[in-house]
Amino acid sequence: MQHIISLLVENKFGVLSRVSGLFSGRGFNIETICVGPTLDPSISQMTIVTIGDDRIIEQITKQLNKLIDVIKVVDLTEKEYVLRETALIKINARPEDRAEALRIADIFRARVVDSTPTTYTVEITGDEKKIEAIINLLRPLGIKELIRTGKIAIAREEGKTITKE
Amino acid sequence: MTTKKTGAEIFVESLKKEGVKTVFGYPGGVVLGIFDVLYSEKNINVILTRHEQGATHMADGFARATGRPGVALVTSGPGATNTVTGIATAYMDSIPIVVFTGQVATKMIGNDAFQEADIVGITRPCTKYNYLVKDVNDLAPTIAEAFYIAKTGRPGPVLIDLPKDVTQAKTDFKYPEKVELRSYRPTYYGNKWQIKKAAHFIAKAKKPVIYAGGGVIISNASAELKELSELTKIPVTMTLLGLGGFPGRHALSLGMLGMHGTYAANMSIHNSDLIIAVGARFDDRVTSKVEEFAPEAKIIHIDIDPTSIRKNIHVDVPIVGDARLVLADLIQAIKENPETEPWDKIRESWLKQIDEWKRERPLSYEQDDIIKPQFVVEKINELTKGDAIITTEVGQNQMWTAQFYKFDKPRTLLSSGGLGTMGYGFPAAIGAQAAFPDRLVFDIAGDGSIQMNIQELATAVLNKLPVKVAILNNQYLGMVRQWQELFFDKRYSSVNLAGSPDFVKLAEAYGAVGLRAVEPSDVEGVIKEAIKVKKPVLMDFVVDREEDVFPMVPAGGAINQMIFAPEKKKVEARLKAVK
Ligand SMILES: Cc1cc2nc3c(=O)[nH]c(=O)nc-3n(C[C@H](O)[C@H](O)[C@H](O)COP(=O)(O)OP(=O)(O)OC[C@H]3O[C@@H](n4cnc5c(N)ncnc54)[C@H](O)[C@@H]3O)c2cc1C
Ligand SMILES: Cc1ncc(C[n+]2csc(CCOP(=O)(O)OP(=O)(O)O)c2C)c(N)n1
Ligand SMILES: [Mg+2]
């Protein structure tokens, strides 16, 4: 099952490689990983989407907690949360297709953030389903390039926190 | 006003603050400045090794023997990469060592500079933590943190990479009084509710066994373990790394369990209804086929590291905490538990069954006219009165030591369990001897393993560290040969060591003493002589070439399906039939 794990880590040199090294070294999966600053400049936040059965997820959260630089681990999957991902999609924009492209973008409340004589670049934010849906609709027009940020997530209320005792 | 100190001086002052008196080191370009400060430092003894791997194993042996972190200091590049095996060995067995590596100057890092290696990257997966110090102002706090991390919680190796310019830069020296890390807070006391539940399980169990591991040694929990066992009449089996945590000659001791464990230990575990695991991690050399491990047993697992719990096996009562503190609380809870019935009565039939297992298949060998390696180990046990520090190499020598030396006290067996590093035992013995100059320290070695760090003979001789190396010389990579014998139709591929150097002459060439035993009647005299001389000694015991380690659980089998020496022929037939 897919789990979304939110981490607070020391904002230090090498932390990302300690986290990613843990996953590769122990054969755990990473679907996506996002890292960014928090309000406290000494702390960074990571959102990791991973897959595994209960036993593996238990090991993943324990092993993450064990890393010296990890301050807090939360498995959001057990709580209500809001998840978002952004994609930038560069599509062919032939004159005859331009209207259709704009119409699709509009339906999804996506924005065209760049255009050239032959392309549009569409920016879309949403959950996985929404992003998959717009990709499917834009595909017939010809997708030239697709870039996705990976998922970030936030608990709706206090998530189940797994802190260090 | 304080006078400013260089990074090199701060390094040395910091070690003194940590109470370090011995450093195992090897110099080179970028650490010349540090070695220069050490040259006039009277409170720190630098032991120059002959290889950086030796230095890290010595630091490890020092740590296992004393319980205090061992320290190694080496140069950048090849010096640093040579430490990797020693660091990984310590990591697998949770041993606190602090390794300092020189590094090229900060502005050169990443340029493929001369003797540059990304040692922080290389050792990330085999250290508990590691650091690259980029500013001399961070140096003292980093060293304090490193020692704190190495020795607290589940201990482990920590590496500090020291760029040359950082060791030359100057700043005020102020050593932190105390280290606090918001992201690192080990749990020492166990959950009271779980401890109560454990006491309840113990009161109800009919066929319980204690499975004690390295965590008992690490947390100095031997006294509590003995109290628990004697109070509740529960027998104790130990892992390789737990040996000595409970007296080997105690009536309730089952000896080691696992692949080469005793019949009684493995049968007890397999048939138990409760296992109390203390500081042990259900390694596959112990459980063998996990699905068939102790099918009827409930499991109480006491471990300081939450990741050890439920990693390999389902646990009914997890207790995260320090073994010594948790056992003390558990003993209290048992004493307060109203359910308790007289232990003697409820254990009677279980202990009787165990005695039968012990009698049915004791550890055994037959001493005939060729020296049996087990006989040598027993003689060493006898002549050292069980009071020596014993290190081992890896292979048959290691297993015979675990089986036939009855370890009564903790920190008397130092052996590479998790990584299984050939070449560990000799430098580890030197490290232990440096910590305890007056104790007897033996390395029980194989002829293969000893050649992996034989160069440290020079270190032992020149530093007057009189370790005794007992080579069980079977002229084979014996453990590998045993597997080839049993599982590869005796096709002895690349295991023949015949033609190795004459170890007696080799010892003499290094300025050590060389002794040889060819007849069984020579054995005692050689060991006595080795104990008598106050110098490092290499003893060459010419042993039965094809002796095997039994009992044995063939890989992939359940631990109650062991094979034994006399049945060797029958077993071969059976194994062939299976194939
Ligand atoms: C050739 C060969 C054959 C081997 N055969 C066998 C065999 O037959 N039987 C056998 O047992 N081993 C054998 N081994 C060793 C085996 O590979 C493992 O190293 C060993 O079983 C692990 O021991 P352990 O479970 O005690 O774990 P360790 O590696 O000692 O781990 C210690 C555990 O204690 C925990 N701990 C640390 N500090 C504390 C504390 N303060 N409080 C509480 N817990 C703490 C740690 O978190 C860890 O989980 C063999 C090795 C070799 C090389
Ligand atoms: C560094 C290293 N290389 C290879 C091995 C694999 N190995 C395990 S036991 C063994 C044979 C050891 O031979 P020896 O030291 O003579 O001991 P014996 O088994 O004969 O007592 C080997 C090669 C190892 N454990 N460590
Ligand atoms: Mg050998």
Count Cβ atoms within 10 A of the Cβ of residue B280 and give its class: 0-12 exposed, 13-18 middle, 19 or more buried: buried
Residue B150 Rama label (left phi>0; alpha psi -120 to 50; beta): alpha
DSSP state of B418: S
CB spacing of A69 vs B183 below 8 angstroms = yes
Q: What is the pLDDT of residue B566?
A: 64
DSSP per position, B252-294? TEEEE-STT--HHHHHHHHH-SEEEEES----HHHHSSGGGSS
The alpha carbon of B178 is separated from its chain's Cα centroid by a whole number of angstroms, namely 29
B129, B185, B305 ranked by CB distance to A165: nearest: B185
Give the chain B residue whose CA is nearest to the CA of A8.
B183
Q: What is the pLDDT of residue B573?
A: 52
| Catalytic machinery residues of B | 52, 114-115, 164, 479
Q: What is the pLDDT of residue A78?
A: 86
DSSP state of B552: B
Q: What is the pLDDT of residue B337?
A: 95
Q: What is the pLDDT of residue B579?
A: 44
Helix (H/G/I), strand (E/B), else coil: B411: coil
Q: What is the pLDDT of residue A159?
A: 46
pLDDT in tens, B46-73: 999 999 999 999 999 999 999 999 999 9
State how far the Cα of B302 lies from the Cα of B224, in Å rounded to an integer: 13
Q: What is the pLDDT of residue A157?
A: 77
Residues 6+ apart with CB under 8 A from B459: B47, B48, B49, B50, B54, B58, B427, B430, B465
Chain A interface test: which of B304, B307, B311, B320 (most A C-beta within 10 Å): B307
The secondary structure element, H or E, covering residue A6 is strand A2-10
CB spacing of B307 vs A62 below 8 angstroms = yes
Q: What is the pLDDT of residue B523?
A: 98
* Distance of residue A31 Cα from the nearest chain B Cα, in angstroms: 21
> Parallel, antiparallel, or unpaired for β A111-115 and A32-37?
unpaired
Sheet harboring B45-48: ordered strands across? B45-48, B22-25, B70-74, B97-103, B158-163, B129-132
Q: Is the pLDDT of residue B87 over 60?
A: yes
DSSP per position, A93-162? --GGGHHHHHHHHHHTT-EEEEE-SSEEEEEEEE-HHHHHHHHHHHGGG-EEEEEE---EEEESS---EE
pLDDT in tens, B101-147: 999 999 999 999 999 999 999 999 999 999 999 999 999 999 999 99
Q: Is the pLDDT of residue B148 over 70?
A: yes
Q: What is the pLDDT of residue B570?
A: 52
Q: What is the pLDDT of residue B340?
A: 86
Residue A109 Rama label (left phi>0; alpha psi -120 to 50; beta): left
CB spacing of B183 vs A10 below 8 angstroms = yes
The answer, for A68 touching chain B at a CB cutoff of 8 Å, is yes
Q: Is the pLDDT of residue B274 over 80?
A: yes
Average pLDDT over residues B218-231: 98
* Distance of residue B262 Cα from the nearest chain A Cα, in angstroms: 32
* Distance of residue A63 Cα from the nearest chain B Cα, in angstroms: 6
Q: Is the pLDDT of residue B577 over 80?
A: no
Tens digit of each residue's pLDDT, chain A (165 residues): 999 999 999 999 899 999 999 999 999 999 999 999 999 999 999 999 999 999 999 999 999 999 999 999 999 998 899 999 999 999 999 999 999 999 999 999 999 999 999 999 999 999 999 999 999 999 999 999 999 999 999 999 764 455 554
Average pLDDT over residues B399-404: 98
User: What ligand has the least distance to the C-alpha of B279?
Assistant: 1
> Parallel, antiparallel, or unpaired for β A2-10 and A43-51?
antiparallel
Q: Mean pLDDT across chain B, nearest whole number?
A: 96
Pocket test for ligand 2, best of B376, B479, B483, B541 (most atoms within 8 A of CB): B479
ipTM of this model?
A: 0.91
B55 CA distance to ligand 2 middle (Å): 20
CB spacing of A62 vs B306 below 8 angstroms = yes
Spell out which residues of chain B touch residue A55, defining contact as CB-CB under 8 Å. Answer: 310
Helix (H/G/I), strand (E/B), else coil: A8: strand
The answer, for A18 touching chain B at a CB cutoff of 8 Å, is yes
Average pLDDT over residues B410-431: 98
B471 CA distance to ligand 3 middle (Å): 8
How many CB pairs (< 8 A) connect A and B? 40
Residue whose CA is at the smallest distance from ligand 2 atom 9: B395
The answer, for A27 touching chain B at a CB cutoff of 8 Å, is no
Q: Is the pLDDT of residue B338 over 70?
A: yes
* Distance of residue B337 Cα from the nearest chain A Cα, in angstroms: 27
The answer, for A163 touching chain B at a CB cutoff of 8 Å, is no
- Ligand 1 pocket by C-beta < 6 Å: which residues? B 93-94, 154, 213-215, 218-219, 239-242, 256-261, 279-281, 283, 285-286, 303-305, 308, 322-323, 394, 398-399, 417-418, 420, 479
Q: What is the pLDDT of residue B578?
A: 46
